[in-house]
Amino acid sequence: MASMETRTCVITGATSGIGRAAARALGSMGANLVLIGRNERAGAALVDLARRRSWAGRVEFIRTDLSVQNEVRALAQTIIARHECIDILINNAGARFDRYEESVDGIEMTFATNHLSHFLLTCLLLDRLARAPEGRVITVGSRSHAAASVDSGWRMEPGSYDRRLAYARSKLANILFACELADRLGQTKVTSNAVDPGMVATRFAKNNGRLSRLELVLPRKGAETIVHLAASEEVKGISGKYFYRKTIIDSSAASRDREAARRLWSLSEEMTGLVSEND
């Protein structure tokens, strides 16, 4: 692993599960950490842990509700004001909702939180990532993406809401986004990859069946590939790939549909208002 000292890592969903495990690993390696989450108490506990463990890097927590686009924009502005350069952006935050809910922006909550927030945050931070010697964007997917199809579209209505399908669609969107971002950054030093952390023992696992629960791994183990993509020299220059257990694997056929990825990008620009800002 390369030294992480002087490198700045932004991690969403950093206060629990694999996000917290990744933060602890990278913090112990000396990285400067910008931790994003909703739980103020958990965020403060991580900052306190860094102080008690005497981690070499600076650690800060910024409370943000990622489902709210104005909060994501405010978050990006705060990061830009405090940091001249970002070396690593880990798009990890994820949520599931048992019932249909809409964000304050009128968007189904799973899609708003898991995909659109990371699309918007990444786009707003690209300039800072481009200033790094080798900026890396790591987007956390899931094997559940294989249950979704690009043919069913991205909008889910209240009467047909299915929480598992909503989550699977959001994870498919994550991988399509990561690959399309890699294509768009092809002539730059910034790379973009997606990662499957495996079936991690988090709150998401509580509704899985018995066989699924037998496959669960601890958050620390699930975070290993994320940390590998953030810190290893072995992946330098690699972009547009899907990793599992530190190895490149094939994601679903739907997630490799380049035309679908371009359409999703355009839709995401419209839903976040970036299309009008870029005109």
At residue 187, what is the residue type?
Answer: Q
At residue 66, the 3 state secondary structure works out as coil
Closest CA to 38 of 60, 65, 74: 65
Per the structure block, which two tokens stand in for 256?
A: 């490799």
Find out whether 36 and 122 touch, Cβ atoms under 8 Å: no
| Crossing angle of helices 69-82 and 117-130, rounded to 10° | 20
Question: d(Cα 218, Cα 18) in Å, to the nearest integer?
Answer: 8
- Catalytic, 167? Answer yes
Find out whether 1 and 29 touch, Cβ atoms under 8 Å: yes
Q: Token pair 């190895």 is at which residue?
A: 247
Torsion of CA 172, 177, 183, 184, to 10 degrees: 160
Per the structure block, which two tokens stand in for 106?
A: 């009128």
Residues in the chain: 279
214 to 111, 131, 168, 210, 278: CA distances (angstroms)? 28, 43, 21, 6, 47
Per the residue annotation, which of 161, 167, 242, 244 is the catalytic one? Answer: 167
Task: Indicate which residues carry an active-site annotation.
Answer: 167
